[in-house]
Structure 1
Amino acid sequence: MEEKELAELVRDVVLRLLPATITNQSPEYAEKAYKYASRILSSRMTPSIAADEAAMAESIKRQLVLEGRSSDALAFADLYSKFSSKSGPGTISNKWSVLYLLKVISQDQSKDKLESRVRVSLSPSCIASASNGGLPAIFGNENSVKRDHYENSKFVTRDRERVSDREKVSSTGGVLLLSKDPENIRQAAFREFSVLLRDETEVSESALVKDIIYACQGIDGRYVRFDIESDGYVLPESIRVPRATRVLVMKLCELGWLFRKVRGYISDSMEKFPADEIGTVGQAFCAALHDELSDYYRLLAVLETQSLNPIPLVSESSSGNYLSLRRLSVWLTEPTTRMRLMAVLVDNSRVLRGGAMAGAIHVHAQHGDPLFQEFMVRLLRRVCSPLFEMVRTWVLEGELNDIYGEFFIVSQTVKAESLWRDRYQVNASMLPGFISEHLAQRILRTGKSINFLRVCCEDQDWAGAPLVGATTRRGELGYGETEALEALVIEAAKRIDKHLIDVMCKKFKFKEHCLAIKRYLLLGQGDFIQYLMDIVGPELSEPANTISSFKLAGLLESAIRASNAQYDDPDILDRLRVKMMPHGSGDRGWDVFSLEYNTRVPLDTVFTEFVMAKYLRIFNFLWKLRRVEHALIGAWKVMKPNCAISQLLSMDAGVKVRFVAILRRCQVLWDEMNHFVTNLQYYIMFEVLEVSWSCFLEEMEEAQDLDDLLAAHEKYLNSIVEKSLLGERSQHICKTLFVLFELILRFRSHADRLYERLHDLQAREGSKSRSRSKNERQRAGAWVGGRKAMSQVTGEFIRKMGEEMDGIADEYSLLLDGFIAQLPVQQHVDLKFLFFRLDFTEFYTRQQANASLKSLQARS
């Protein structure tokens, strides 16, 4: 309906309600009435009853029945059924308001008709009450008037003779009507009452009403003024007014005090403080408060217009639009409630900004009153609009438009490789209560993924696909629409995360690089590692400070070309390099040699410096294990062919027996060490590396976003560290293991010395037998003496070697028993497999039990 047509309809209703004499004789009055009605209808004043269309229709029918108008009630029911069934364009949507308006108009007309029909004289009891200063009840509903007239008629009947000289008695429609008495006793009583009120009151009620309206606007009146000391509007004690009137004035002036607080906050925020201290949310809050005050100003304008009408005396009956203190109290009840709420919000939000301010206001919206909730929702939609616009821009475009630091997502300047982990974070202090922490994390990850694609991956295809079924336009999100916000975030996150995973796995080959690290840094490429260890072994045996990194790099290239590693992707092989760790003067090349895998953006988001340090730690452990295995294999190559040769030596029988015994002791100790190293290596390569890799592949396929991918890789790496006894809780047993490695390497050195001496003896015997001539046979006696001396030297060597071999064996047995004893108490359950493999015959368990029993027997 057009505005012009609506105005004409309002004017028509006003003219129909006014008497015809007023309409014809005083068109100015009719125009004022129309303007007054327009101000009322354009305000936001609402009745204090619930908007229930069916209940309102039932109330109108019940009122018609009670008035004895049953036919009208039936007619109304028929008209209402037709009225409520109409729908569609061009019909009235707010039908409850129409019914409420008709009911109020009907009640006002009924009251005017009743007052014009009934003329009642005061009974003697009413006259006596008025003469004592009381105010009788003159008007009521029609039934109460009839009842009062009936009682008064009985009184008049008993004293008819006494009052017949002063009154005329008439009966109309069964109701006794009494005319005014000739002596005007009723008027005299009202005059006495008015004089009494004037004596007790120095200020008229109209003046107080005007001052209160001024106070409600923050303006000092003639009598009611703002007192700084008491921080409120006061009526001076020097002004004489009844106590009840003073209390009512002070109660009504509370609205002015609240208004000053709200208006002061708005003016201070918009004028005194800079924009960066207020922020966009604070500005929106001030704008919303200003709009609420605009409605408040319109109400005060209406009240100020009504205050111009004179207040009738107690002796006068009037239903005009005058404004008394009591009526003003009724008018200001709802505005006071709203203003009190706004003042509370102002106090709680004065030192807050951004999301913290929105969250503080949201707390007050948790209320059961529908009118209260409607007001708070209307306010919060304005306040939260900047925050929801920031969310929309962040999840759809990856832009953080937060120049005043109000958003719950904050950023800081970091390197590209730290963008995902460190650049963007959730600021919990700015997170409002209507956004859950889970949703905030999803919002964070969505915008972070866009920035990661844009900055680290240099990819722009993420913006190509439009969102399906999600709110994307500006202004479509708002407070109270949590489901729409979640739908937008979920849809945007699903699209961005899927694209990011595809880019990482297809364009940057994340899975292939993980496999390359497993093959080279975790020693999974067996032929390459074995060949590398063979060719760099002699070089690494030298002091670390004499080794050339360039030469080692060349040996690495040779190992690649000589193994199946040559068929790998050149980009992967180009990332594999030799690294020499920091070393001291006494370190050997074995102690400082390592391999490194160079990762670039965006892969360095996963393979950070901390992650690569863990890989380096695992590599050093596996490299030591391979070095020990390589040392045992080298010892076996020396021992096996010399076992038979040792039986052919022509030496002293006693020395020979001892030599054979120490060789056999060396063989048995080698078997024990080889059993330990072989089973340990099997456990590391299969139970640890392969099982962890298999689990990592499954989680990699199930990853929905980059966080899932990072979590899967971190779990994979931590699993290897814990199972390999490299974790924080396995430091003691790890130290024992490294001591065992050093002892095995010392055994290899001891075995090499032993078999080198054996080789020297064999070579010496061969050369002597070949160079022995006839003359030498003549000097056989001298040769026998030399042989005896050599046997003595060999015997001394064998004795020392035997003692050293026994020391190594005892130390190894003690360390191995301690290592095996610590395995069952380790935290990780997979270490039980290692314990089972090392002691599957329970040999070490029985050995420890026997040692404990002997210790107890020795103590006893």
Structure 2
Amino acid sequence: MAMKGQEDPHQLLHRLVVKILQRKEDKVIAEFQHVLRVISSNFSLTVEPDEFQVLEKIKKKLALQGHANDAVRFMQLYRQLQEQAVLANRWAVLYLLFELYQDPRKKRPKVTESRAFFSHGLASHATSTPYVARNTHAGQQPYNTPSSKHYSVSSSGIGTGISSITADSRPSSIPSFAPTPGYNLAERDVQSMGTRLAKIMTSSQPAEHIMHRSLLPSQAQVVDRSVYTIGEDENYLNESSEGAILRELVYIFQGIDGKMIKFDQSEEAYRIDKQIGVARAVRDQVHKQAELGWLHDKIKKYTENRNKDKTFGLVGQSFIAALQEELTEYYRLLSVLQAQLKQEDDEGMQSDPRCSLTLLRLSVWVLDPKQRLKWLAQLVDYCKDKKGGALSSAIHSYAMHGDPDVHGLMQHVLKLAAYPIQHFIDKWIYDGQLEDRCHEFFVAADPTVKDVGLWHERYSLRKSMIPSFLSMEQASKILLIGKSINFIRQVCHDHSVLNGQNKLNKEMLKKDHRSELLFNQDLDGGFQEIINTVYKETSKHLLDIFFSKYKFLDHLKAMRRYLLLGQGDFIKHLMDLLEDDLAKPANVLYLHNVTGVLETAIRGTNAQYDDPGILKRLDVRLLEVSPGDTGWDIFSLDYHVDGPIATVFKSECIIMYLRAFNFLWRAKRMEYILAQVWRGQMTYARMLKAIPEMAPVLHQCHMIAAEMIYFVQQMQYYINFEVLECAWCELWKQVTNAQDLDHIISAHEDFLDTIIKRSLLDPESTRLLTQLRAIFDLIIQYQSAQETMYKKALNELEAQQKMRNLITTRTQEGKWGESEKEEEAEKKRKANFICQVLPGCRAQFRVLSQSYQDMVQKFLVMLTEHNDESLKLLAVRLDFNEIYKAKEPKLRSPMIYHKQRKRVY
């Protein structure tokens, strides 16, 4: 902008305003006054000289007002300006243009609510001189009318940057300044101001540096920490000292807005009003310290909201109490600060500046509280949706901090918050009481479950509520202790006092640091010692009741003897008594008849010497009838359990016992049948010597029977010794050495699982079990075929004996022994027996023998393919002479594989 000789800076500036606003000269008086004050002001720059940012603001302003074409034209002019090397401070020019473009008619805040535009006062010759346009008509009122407002500015203060000169910081009507009496604005003063503006626009130095150098010496040397606010009832600028900021900061620390510092919703922080001219360093310092108020509000809001939540629980309320305790300590510090400020106000000028409270000293005072509140605010954020044990775990995670100050703070909070958990644990492990109305304890109870399912279903663990300072093993033991107490009281109906627990409880109540034992287990094993002692005492008391009062071991032996066929004489006698009844169709078998036979078998064997309470529980159960079933298929023994022992012998366990009994009963029946077959063979072998033609058939029967007997004996040995007896020894060892009822239940379930799995009753062995039952069915067919053969052979033997007796009788009477006709009939009968009956029997036995061998061979192949090593060894034992191995290549592969492995090693 070049200066013309005939035009002074005043006129140039006026023309520039008219050009920009595109109004008449008499319509830009207010804007010109504003520009004149800006140029004549002594200010310190607080806005970053970002040319691009100002450019974007201008473009956005034009676009929002619908002047897109003007925005394009502006960018073209800006590019042309960039090509010119005349202006070095384009940013200052752009910012001035942007400020001039703001609409002065826009609604402004009231004068009483606004802040000072500048921190430094204007020079008297620049601010107090009114301006009247040259073309003002004679009847037009000048701008320095008595109704116009004026400002009285102190000569001291910290300058404000150009950021204070915004549309929101200007009043709705620019007031004129009352002239100082006896002083008129000389033309040279106006020229100096115009020269200063031109220097700003053309100089390569920063604008704020040029303005600072152009100040009067008295203005440039003023240094103070004062701010200026517009008085509510006065028409002049009111100076507020640093003490005013300090007093407001103390209120901000408590979440109370002041006149200068208020909460900004957009930034979610406390900020000094943008309309107040404050040095950037002071503003930044205030904003940093005002963060303390934001932290206080965050914590206080959390405590107030959670106090209204009735489901937050005792742990949450303890946490709130810990936070409020920290806030109370914080309020004590604020009271000290307020007392210090009050004392300084009372002393006034007499106070020692070295001891007075300043922003810098205040930052030192609040440094430690700020750190504490910052950690508490982070903790509040992390614990926002947590309660109970999960809340204590969150606090404990913050307590595992390397900083000793943070660790001490979180330990103190955790100590208060974890106290209800300690209370829950004490009531649970000593009294079995669960006082958890808000579901915040890690032990959960289902009140709808009856006493029968107390141990398995009523109580459980809430894994999400297990505190992190407790291990899963400790939580399980705590659950087990309280569950044992309730089981003793409600199921076993034992209300005796546990002396060991009471003694330990009294000793531990004497310790003041008891709650700290809970979350300081890495340094002190006291809590683990408490849990172990109470656990041993409670479990020992429960097992004593279980073994002595309810005779659990006797019931366990009864299951082994009767349902698992361990009482041999009883099972043999029962089969003898039931043989005729069980051979009938299943639909003609009646329970009361079979029950009577059971009582007879008990009285006729050593079973009669068992405890009457046990024999009373032994009963008969008839299974569901299917078409074609016989009594053997539906008969089963049963054992009734109730009371505490039903906790071990659950309904699922009883079903597993019945499955095992049916399998063992079927295998026992095969042994019983083959024993009868062997006795019949020994008896009929001597009787049928009279029929020499029977020898080959009998030999064939003996061979088949021998194979079947060996197979069944090996299966019985495997089941009775390798499965039942080994599993029973392990069960007995586990039960007698058990530490609690859960160990007994677990050992018993493992025992049944072993029996089910190794007795081919698990899903994996379904094909094996089906094949084995087919072999058992073939044995029954063999028994039937042999009985038919013996019946026919006995008929033939009886016919021959009858004929011999007839011949002997006739001979003794002196008659012929037999007639020709009788002789012919006898020969025909013998021929029919030898040529038709015996070959048919031999063919039938040959088919049975081949079918049996094929089934056994297939069964052996299945055994070798099974994953259980004991079943593979059973296959080796069943094929002891390797006959089946010679026939089936699949049986040779595993053996060759094992031999090759031996050679390698």
Q: TM-score, normalised by structure 1?
A: 0.72
Q: Secondary structure at the match of 2:275?
A: coil
Which residue of 263, 280, 283 corresponds with 2:300?
263
Match of 1:714 in 2: 749
Greater C-alpha Rg = 2
Structure 1 residues 778, 802: closer, same or farther in 2, change over 3 A? Answer: closer
Are the counterparts in 2 of residues 349 and 360 from structure 1 also a CA contact under 8 Å?
A: yes
Which residue of 388, 392, 406 corresponds with 1:358?
392
Which residue of 655, 669, 676 corresponds with 1:613?
655
Residue 207, structure 1, aligned to residue 244, structure 2: yes
CA distance in structure 1 between the aligned counterparts of 2:227 and 2:544, rounded to whole angstroms: 92
The amino acid across from 2:408 in the alignment is E
Match of 2:844 in 1: 804
The amino acid across from 2:509 in the alignment is R
CA distance in structure 1 between the aligned counterparts of 2:729 and 2:532, rounded to whole angstroms: 30
Q: CA deviation at 1:389?
A: 0.5
Match of 1:300 in 2: 334
Q: Secondary structure at the match of 2:626?
A: coil
Structure 1 residues 312, 684: closer, same or farther in 2, change over 3 A? Answer: same
Residue 603, structure 1, aligned to residue 639, structure 2: no
Q: Deviations over 1:313-335 (max 9, x none)?
A: 99999356422111111111111
CA distance in structure 1 between the aligned counterparts of 2:606 and 2:766, rounded to whole angstroms: 36
The amino acid across from 1:217 in the alignment is Q
Q: CA deviation at 1:833?
A: 4.9
CA distance in structure 2 between the aligned counterparts of 1:744 and 1:847, rounded to whole angstroms: 22
1:77-156 alignment runs, 5 A limit: none
CA distance in structure 2 between the aligned counterparts of 1:268 and 1:379, rounded to whole angstroms: 19
CA distance in structure 2 between the aligned counterparts of 1:190 and 1:467, rounded to whole angstroms: 86
CA distance in structure 1 between the aligned counterparts of 2:760 and 2:890, rounded to whole angstroms: 28
Which residue of 716, 727, 733 corresponds with 2:762?
727
The amino acid across from 1:802 in the alignment is R
Are the counterparts in 2 of residues 311 and 323 from structure 1 also a CA contact under 8 Å?
A: no
Q: Secondary structure at the match of 1:579?
A: strand
Q: CA deviation at 1:823?
A: 3.0
Are the counterparts in 1 of residues 248 and 261 from structure 2 also a CA contact under 8 Å?
A: yes
Which residue of 464, 470, 491 corresponds with 2:533?
491
The amino acid across from 1:226 in the alignment is F
Residue 844, structure 1, aligned to residue 884, structure 2: yes
Structure 1 residues 281, 204: closer, same or farther in 2, change over 3 A? Answer: same
Q: CA deviation at 1:531?
A: 0.5
Match of 1:473 in 2: 509
Q: CA deviation at 1:826?
A: 3.1
Residue 240, structure 1, aligned to residue 277, structure 2: yes
Q: Secondary structure at the match of 2:869?
A: coil
The amino acid across from 2:551 in the alignment is K
CA distance in structure 2 between the aligned counterparts of 1:302 and 1:852, rounded to whole angstroms: 96
Match of 2:868 in 1: 828
Q: Deviations over 1:414-471 (max 9, x none)?
A: 2433322222111111111111111111111111111111122111225344455565
Structure 1 residues 852, 253: closer, same or farther in 2, change over 3 A? Answer: closer
Q: Secondary structure at the match of 2:399?
A: coil
CA distance in structure 1 between the aligned counterparts of 2:395 and 2:376, rounded to whole angstroms: 10
CA distance in structure 1 between the aligned counterparts of 2:247 and 2:701, rounded to whole angstroms: 116
CA distance in structure 1 between the aligned counterparts of 2:220 and 2:891, rounded to whole angstroms: 123
**Could you tell me the percent identity over the aligned residues?**
34
Match of 2:413 in 1: 379
Unmatched 5+ stretches in structure 2: 1-155, 159-216, 230-238, 894-905
The amino acid across from 2:670 in the alignment is V
Q: Deviations over 1:34-86 (max 9, x none)?
A: xxxxxxxxxxxxxxxxxxxxxxxxxxxxxxxxxxxxxxxxxxxxxxxxxxxxx
Structure 1 residues 415, 759: closer, same or farther in 2, change over 3 A? Answer: farther
The amino acid across from 1:445 in the alignment is L
The amino acid across from 1:694 in the alignment is C
Residue 219, structure 1, aligned to residue 253, structure 2: no
Q: Secondary structure at the match of 2:304?
A: helix
Are the counterparts in 2 of residues 355 and 408 from structure 1 also a CA contact under 8 Å?
A: yes
1:15-30 alignment runs, 5 A limit: none
Structure 1 residues 352, 836: closer, same or farther in 2, change over 3 A? Answer: same
Structure 1 residues 713, 821: closer, same or farther in 2, change over 3 A? Answer: same
Which residue of 364, 367, 371 corresponds with 2:401?
367
The amino acid across from 2:829 in the alignment is M
Structure (1/2) with the larger helix percentage: 1
Structure 1 residues 463, 384: closer, same or farther in 2, change over 3 A? Answer: same
CA distance in structure 1 between the aligned counterparts of 2:571 and 2:227, rounded to whole angstroms: 115
CA distance in structure 2 between the aligned counterparts of 1:431 and 1:714, rounded to whole angstroms: 28
Match of 2:427 in 1: 393
Q: Secondary structure at the match of 2:515?
A: coil
Q: Secondary structure at the match of 1:596?
A: strand
Q: Secondary structure at the match of 2:509?
A: coil
The alignment yields a C-alpha RMSD, in angstroms, of 3.0
Residue 525, structure 1, aligned to residue 567, structure 2: yes
Match of 1:644 in 2: 686
The amino acid across from 1:757 in the alignment is K
Are the counterparts in 2 of residues 722 and 828 from structure 1 also a CA contact under 8 Å?
A: no
Structure 1 residues 587, 209: closer, same or farther in 2, change over 3 A? Answer: same
Q: CA deviation at 1:719?
A: 2.5
CA distance in structure 1 between the aligned counterparts of 2:464 and 2:540, rounded to whole angstroms: 31
1:228-627 alignment runs, 5 A limit: 228-271=265-308, 273=309, 275-276=310-311, 278-310=312-344, 318=352, 321-412=355-446, 413-468=448-503, 472-473=508-509, 477-479=514-516, 480-482=519-521, 483-627=525-669
Match of 2:823 in 1: 784
Q: TM-score, normalised by structure 2?
A: 0.69
1:26-41 alignment runs, 5 A limit: none
Q: Secondary structure at the match of 1:367?
A: coil
Q: Secondary structure at the match of 1:237?
A: coil
Residue 665, structure 1, aligned to residue 700, structure 2: yes
The amino acid across from 1:717 in the alignment is L
Q: Secondary structure at the match of 1:726?
A: coil
Q: Secondary structure at the match of 1:478?
A: helix
Are the counterparts in 2 of residues 539 and 589 from structure 1 also a CA contact under 8 Å?
A: yes
